[in-house]
Amino acid sequence: MSFIQQYSALVGRIFISLIFLVAGINKITAYEGTAGYMAAMGVPSGLLPLVIATEILGALAIMAGFKTRLVAFLMAGFSLLSALLFHFELADQTQSIMFMKNVAIAGGFLLLVAHGPGRYAIDNRANN
């Protein structure tokens, strides 16, 4: 594995996870508003703690390379589900872009499923 491959896998995991880490933290700081938005979209606001945990813990696991393939698979599903529930108004250009962003993120996670976390990951420590 080349120098660029070793470090780009780590940086890529961090970059793809940052959006979820920040979103999870923002949901904590704007809890009531987020709960209201979820309810308005037909999603029970009681699921918000699970959403926050998924975003923050999933992001941290991917960043660290912990159970990467499993967590990436779950995060891909989470991204697609979020796209369908919150951004499936394709006639609205902004929502269409948000929908495609979620699809692209799911694709990135599926690449992690296929290729693993790269060299610098907790997953590799178990193998040594």
Contact present, 39 and 19 (Cβ < 8 Å): no
- Position 125 scores a pLDDT of 86
- Position 3 scores a pLDDT of 85
**29, amino acid identity:** T
What is the mean predicted confidence (pLDDT) over 75-82? Answer: 98
pLDDT class for 127, splitting at 50, 70, 90?
Answer: low
Number of domains in the chain: 1
Residue 31 is assigned to a structural domain of this protein: yes
Provide CB contacts within 8 A for 71, sequence distance 6+: 58, 61, 62
What is the mean predicted confidence (pLDDT) over 52-65? Answer: 98
Token representation of residue 40:
């308005």
- Position 2 scores a pLDDT of 83
Distance CA 32, CA 13 (A): 30
Residue 58 is assigned to a structural domain of this protein: yes
Distance CA 39, CA 41 (A): 5
Residue 65 is assigned to a structural domain of this protein: yes
For 91, the 3-state DSSP assignment is coil
Residue 15 is assigned to a structural domain of this protein: yes
pLDDT in tens, 18-35: 999 999 999 999 999 999
CA distances from 123 to 3, 99, 101, 128 (A): 19, 31, 27, 10
Backbone angles phi, psi at 77, to 5 degrees: -65, -40
Token representation of residue 14:
């961090």
Residue 125 is assigned to a structural domain of this protein: no
pLDDT class for 59, splitting at 50, 70, 90?
Answer: very high
- Domain with 92 in it: 7-117
* pTM as predicted: 0.93
pLDDT in tens, 97-113: 999 999 999 999 999 99
Residue 38 is assigned to a structural domain of this protein: yes
CA distances from 25 to 54, 56, 67, 89, 118 (A): 11, 7, 22, 26, 27
Residue 128 has pLDDT above 60, yes or no: no
